[in-house]
Chain A
Amino acid sequence: MAAVLESLLREEVSVAAAVRWIARSAQSSEDDPGEAAALRSLRPLRKEFVPFLLNFLREQSSRVLPQGPPTPAKAPGSSAALPGRPGGPSRGGRGARSQLFPPAEPSSAAAAEAPPARRGGRRRGPGPGRERGGRGPGGLEEGVGGESPPWAAGRRRRSSGSPGSPGRARSDPPNLSNLEEFPPVGSLPPGPAGTKPSRRINPTPVSEERSLSKPKTCFTSPPISCVPSSQPSVPDTSPWGHGLPPGCRSLQEEREMLRKERSKHLQQSPTPACPTSESGSPLPSRTGNLTAEAADPARVSSRQRLELIALIYSSCIAENLVPNLFLELFFILQLLTARRMVAAKDSDLEPTPGAPDSLESPLFQSVHDCVFFAVQVLEHQFDKGTLKLLAENERLLCFSPALQGRLKAAYEGSVAKVSLAMPPSAQAVSFQPETDNRANFSSDRAFHTFKKQRDVFFEVLREWEDRHEEPGWDFEKGLGSRIRAMMGQLSAACSHSHFVRLFQKQLLQMCQSPGGTGGTVLGEAPDVLNMLGADKLGRLRRLQERLVAPQSSGGPCPPPTFPGCQGFFRDFILSASSFQFNQHLMDSLSLKIRELNSLALPQPEPSDEDGESDVDWQGERRQFAVVLLSLRLLAKFLGFVAFLPYRGPEPPPTRELQDSILALRSQVPPALDVRALLQQGLRARRAVLTVPWLVEFLSLADHIVPLLDYYRSIFVVLLHLHRSLVLSKESEGEMCFLNKLLLLAVLGWLFQIPTVPEDLFFLEEGQLDAFEVDTVPSEHGLDGMPVVDQHLLYTCCPYIGELRKLLASWVSGSSGRSGGFVRKITPTTTTTGLGAQPPHTTQGLQAQLAQAFFHNQPPSLRRTVEFVAERIGSNCVKHIKATLVADLVHQAESLLREQLVMQGQDGGDPAQLLEILCSQLCPHGAQALTRGREFCQKKSPGAVRALLPEETPAAVLSSAENIAVGLATEKACAWLSANITALIRREVKAAVSRTLRAQGPEPAARGERRGCSRACEHHAPLPSHLISEIKDVLSLAVGPRDPEEGISLDHLEQLLGQLGQTLQCRQFLCPPAEQHLAKCSVDLASLLVADQIPVLGPPAPRGLERGQARRLLHLLLSLWKDGFQVPVPLQLLLSPRNVGLLADTRPREWDLLLFLLRELVEKGLMGRPEIEACLGSLRDAQWPKDFSEELATLFNLFLAEPPMPEPQLRACELVQTNRGTVLAQS
């Protein structure tokens, strides 16, 4: 591999040719025959070149980029052998730690041919090696399944103490299990720019196991447990720094040859020329306590070599030959912002007069070299125009989102609506009767169980919100048992689906809100901006802390995580550990993903002038963002649940085991047919929507998934897509720039996920070629529209922010300029192919005509019509329910009442009744269709008219109206014809049970109730107050009471007056209160009759005078007659207990009772027979003898007394005369 680089350095091959050679399998006509020959012979090595180059650069930079405080005792006195220094101390895996990719092992055939090829002397036609890349197990085996430590951040710091020539000062093989040396992500020791992204892959000895695509715990994987406990440390003298298995002959040979070559070609000494320093080229001032070495263009060594390598490197980036664009950018920026070399011991650095430009000497010998290289790379992007956009954009990424976000926020703030200004911390999923009421559950029990579950779910959620940040709080310990108890109650399948719906809605609601995803860009951007503009030490320190503190995004290539609220839902799923729940959840997530993925998203209106469409376009872009973010969230959780049973920290240890697992797993159908969705998405040019969520889904796959044929084919498609997204190409019909960038970012991220085999990226070209066919679709889809903006890009890929952080740490204090400029994005779409979009409903010619009609109209028209049709159709059903069905229900009720009258109160078997009613009423349902049609006809046109712009031509308007009517009718009638009978049945059933229930208790209370008069101002005393007052009177009367306690007569009269008012007003009166008032009034009357009420008055409380008592009784009688609307329990007046009150009075007074009884009869409040019956039963009670006698006399008197015109006076006289001794007490 090095041969290629060597030949480039010797200028045997032009960079352009080399890149063509790398990128394409086919030979280009532009190639110089000589070059082509030279390169063709290297063919088998082609796919290994990029990994080699990247590893080479990492390795080189690792030697010169130590930063931050030296980590002590890392590799004291370690001195890596300079490339090619025979006898140098064994470097073991050390160098490999900085490698991004494993050195690919040529297959035996290729290896055999390789050595001669290196000399460039032998032409090699397309041979067997060319075809070797065919799909199949063999393809996979090409790569080396290396192991790599999780995070290489500490690496550069480690090479402390050997300034200047770190490259030659190492020998100890690193201890990869040493956490200090290889800290996991997030535990970085302090030091800016300490996070160097590199997927360091260590070579693994070639063996039978090699093809297994071993687990790679690349730097993206967080858990310490994933760090391989041992690292194969093979003694290695490779000049390239990667340990090679001893048996690897071809590369060893290659090295030998190189050495010889080197001795032949002596390098010229570096020619110092002033590098065209970019604005970003650092002439760094101090930041904080870290002094950066000033980079001096004049001190760049081996300039020519650097230029060449920069050229080829940037070409690889431009052609998407690197797996992760942003990782490379990050790397370049790291070089650019390198603060200081490790104090380089010049003495240590062996002078390399012999071959200064050969690969033997360290590439980066100083900060100057690093900066030069970085600027070169960046510059090439400018020069070629390839990455001009990127560079612009990169500045934009680095600086302006903050500003932009701020301006945007300020702008929005000025027009903000109330509801948007203060979103609650977390909203709950609202209760919707249509889906959540009793009718949606199989039984009362299920309904009530779910009711409780909803509350438990939110209780758990609230507790999590409150406590999950407390140290020592554990989800499982805190909530696990409660969650499982709750899940345990979800017995019925229907309850599960209800719960899952709640869960999913809540997930979307919480995790989409700005705070939900955790560490969003807008949230922190203003902060960074503040820091950038100021040089206050405190701020800088904060910035530094921010930079070295564990980042939420975890470096430029973080592993998949569940930030913020997502953590709750993940932990909930884990704690619930319910098979049913997971299955229902997967079903539901899949459905929602399909639904959102196929959602018709807006297309820009080409005809609209800028000003107008901007408004719409903003909204549409926002809609796209919402859909995209929802999809990503749903897909992530689908991936999480779907692969949950298979997830484990380690892949299977042996090939046999893996094969058997593969055999098993290949039978399992995927939870969601993502391949089909991906293909559809690509075909419809909606990759910008489909790919990001697919990446989320795949990022949670287990180790086996990428090996399954099904998923492997997906990865291949994604790889091809990645390769095709060349940023510099921006022609008509190409994907928009930011769309591409988003896809590149997410795909690049995916390729770095630990579970994705690292060799996957460098597949054989045979597979790549096939792709071109798939991506030629001509019609325009979302991909060609500027749907992605900076904010969305950052939200989806927070790790891009690492670039900004890196720069921010550098530029702080010096960057007054806002930097960058916003790329103006203009819609490129002009036409939309009609034929390409198959009509959703194939309802024949009319439907096709409708489609054609919409084709030439603005998309908003179509949306409006569809919207109106959808709503009117739905309203139509509700209308039918409220009119036709309601009428039928009324009929049912009256029929039922007739039935009940005929059959007596029982009415017979309810089920039978229902059948009879339904058979009579259901045929009327046929009217529903006619009425529904009328409704749609009537309502739709108006709605369409109201929603379309006024200048819509009349013909277009009427067509739109007609289509809306048609669609609405279609929708409504389809539903009605299928469901009307069931609907009527259900409603009638509910009415029947309602009527039957109403038949039961309290028929009296159902009588017609009078309200208060219109003029009433509701100032009457409150019923509760009256009951309370009367209760006090009763308690005073019944005693015990203090000697001075009593009631004034005025108060009593006032009380009865108030009672009258309250009974008049009724505003606040409820039946129970009225019933109690009625009963209390009867009790009061009894106490009056028995003269038991202590009236206040001089000199002491005493009984009432008879006249006063009668007046009060009169008041009560009239209230009973006219005031109360509930039955008054007057018979209680003659209950043994109340009559017995008289027994205690001495002397006894019977005339008030007799008076009362006569009045009751007189006023028609009680019938004579009723009173007689009461009196009769009174005689049965046990009384003192004299009392019984008097009672009997009263009875006789009452019986003897026929109703008279003026009963009161005469009765009293009668009583008094007849029973003078006993009764005449007045």
Chain B
Amino acid sequence: MILTKAQYDEIAQCLVSVPPTRQSLRKLKQTFPSQSQATLLSIFSQEYQKHIKRTHAKHHTSEAIETYYQRYLNGVGRNGSAPVLLELANEVDYAPSLMARIILERFLQDHEETPPSKSVINSMLRDPSQIPDGVLANQVYQCIVNDCCYGPLVDCIKHAIGHEHEVLLRDLLLEKNLSFLDEDQLRAKGYDKTPDFILQVPVVMLCSLAVEGHIIHWIESKASFGDECSHHAYLHDQFWSYWNRFGPGLVIYWYGFIQELDCNRERGILLKACFPTDIVTLCHSIA
């Protein structure tokens, strides 16, 4: 699912100020029926995260927190079983899980002597049963299961997707008889930067329409859509670091990427949306 910048922009345009709910996703799928759902979800998630990063600060001023908390208290005071917190989040255009966190923190400040630690908060978000207030527990739980961009469940899904694609890639490598070192092995050897796989014997990936291929020393699997923002972050934190140590390599964005980002091929970073089929391996026997 390689999109041009223009295609991508068209999708991103539709995502402005859309709450991260399952209803929004449904609508998005209807708008772009030709795109894969996973790609759409990935783009949606990334766009929403960008949006949250931009607006994060304004929701964390003490005034904002106080306002939200009072509105929450008033809301549950009227009806504890109504989706007070979720509606509040949607109304102020903030992620429900993050709103739940704000209110939970504020609530604990009122009810505990010491300010709650991050790990306590995280643990309560993972398992709202631990929240001392039953009503708040339900409200928080509702926020978390209804948030498709943030929250412990979403984090877990993302992690799982990443893991699954690594396993997938490993299988493909095994199938092709390419020997490799995986991240764990590399870490055990003391490598300071570890791509998902380092090929013990480099291969050449041929690109369609190009006469020459690209030498690949390492492969990184990314179970997400490669947009500008995330790609540049990855380049800086990972891909160039890999290049600096191991030479040219391949990045697979399983959910596609913006075509224009694949501009470092000659420099040694090749982008693909799937495992390439045209691979040339080193021949050991010279007849």
Contact = CB atoms under 8 A, between A and B. Distances in A.
Given A418-B204, A1072-B160, A1137-B128, A451 B193 contact: yes
Contacts of B131: 1137
B138 to A, nearest CB: 7
A425 interface: yes
Contacts of A1135: 129
Tell me what chain A mostly uses at the interface: helix, strand, loop, or mixed. helix
A427 B212 CA distance: 18
B244 A455 contact: yes
Given A427-B247, A1073-B163, 16 more contacts: A422-B212, A424-B215, A428-B243, A428-B244, A431-B191, A431-B193, A433-B190, A433-B191, A437-B192, A448-B192, A451-B193, A455-B240, A1023-B160, A1073-B159, A1137-B134, A1140-B138
A458 B137 contact: no
A1136 B87 CA distance: 24
Interface residues of A, number: 58
A425 B266 contact: yes
A438 B189 CA distance: 9
Given A424-B247, A1040-B86, A1022 B134 contact: no
Nearest to B138: A1137
Interface string B146-162: 10000011001111110
Interface residues of B, number: 54
A431 B186 CA distance: 11
A1021 to B, nearest CB: 10
Interface of A: 418-419, 421-422, 424-425, 427-431, 433, 436-439, 447-448, 450-451, 454-455, 457-459, 462, 1018, 1022-1024, 1027-1028, 1031-1032, 1034-1035, 1038-1040, 1042, 1067-1068, 1070, 1072-1073, 1076, 1079-1080, 1129, 1132, 1135-1138, 1140, 1144, 1181-1182
28 contacts: A422-B213, A424-B267, A428-B243, A429-B244, A430-B246, A430-B247, A431-B246, A433-B189, A438-B190, A439-B190, A454-B245, A455-B244, A458-B243, A459-B240, A462-B240, A1022-B160, A1023-B164, A1032-B22, A1035-B22, A1035-B145, A1038-B142, A1068-B168, A1073-B156, A1076-B152, A1076-B153, A1132-B129, A1136-B134, A1137-B129
A189 B93 CA distance: 69
A113 to B, nearest CB: 70
Interface in B179-227: 189-193, 204, 212-213, 215
A431 B245 contact: yes
Interface string B259-284: 00000001110000000000010100
A437 B189 contact: yes
Contacts of A1040: 83, 86-87
A17 B180 CA distance: 76
Contacts of A1034: 145
A459 B237 CA distance: 11
Contacts of A448: 192
Interface in B51-95: 81, 83, 86-87
A1129 B215 contact: no
A418 B160 contact: no
Interface in B130-147: 131, 134, 137-138, 141-142, 145-146
A422 B168 CA distance: 30
Contacts of A1068: 160, 163-164, 167-168
A74 B164 CA distance: 80
Name which of A422, A1137, A1138 has the most chain B CB atoms within 10 A of its CB: A1137
Contacts of A428: 243-247
Contacts of B168: 1068
Contacts of B142: 1035, 1038-1039
Nearest to B223: A1024
A1136 B129 contact: yes
A1137 B86 contact: no
Contacts of B241: 454-455
A431 B192 contact: yes
Interface in B4-43: 22-23
Interface string B234-253: 00100011011111100000
Name which of A436, A1040, A1067 has the most chain B CB atoms within 10 A of its CB: A1040
Nearest to B280: A418
Given A428-B245, A1067-B167, A1031 B129 contact: no
B228 interface: no
Contacts of B81: 1144
A793 B167 CA distance: 54
B26 to A, nearest CB: 10
Name which of B83, B160, B241, B282 has the most chain A CB atoms within 10 A of its CB: B160
B160 A1027 contact: yes
Contacts of B215: 419, 422, 424
Contacts of A419: 215
Contacts of B191: 431, 433, 437
Nearest to B140: A1137
Nearest to B126: A1079
A975 B193 CA distance: 30
A341 B204 CA distance: 60
B285 to A, nearest CB: 14
Contacts of A1144: 81
Contacts of B141: 1038, 1137
Contacts of A454: 192, 241, 244-245
A421 B190 CA distance: 33
Given A1024-B160, A1135-B129, A1140 B190 contact: no
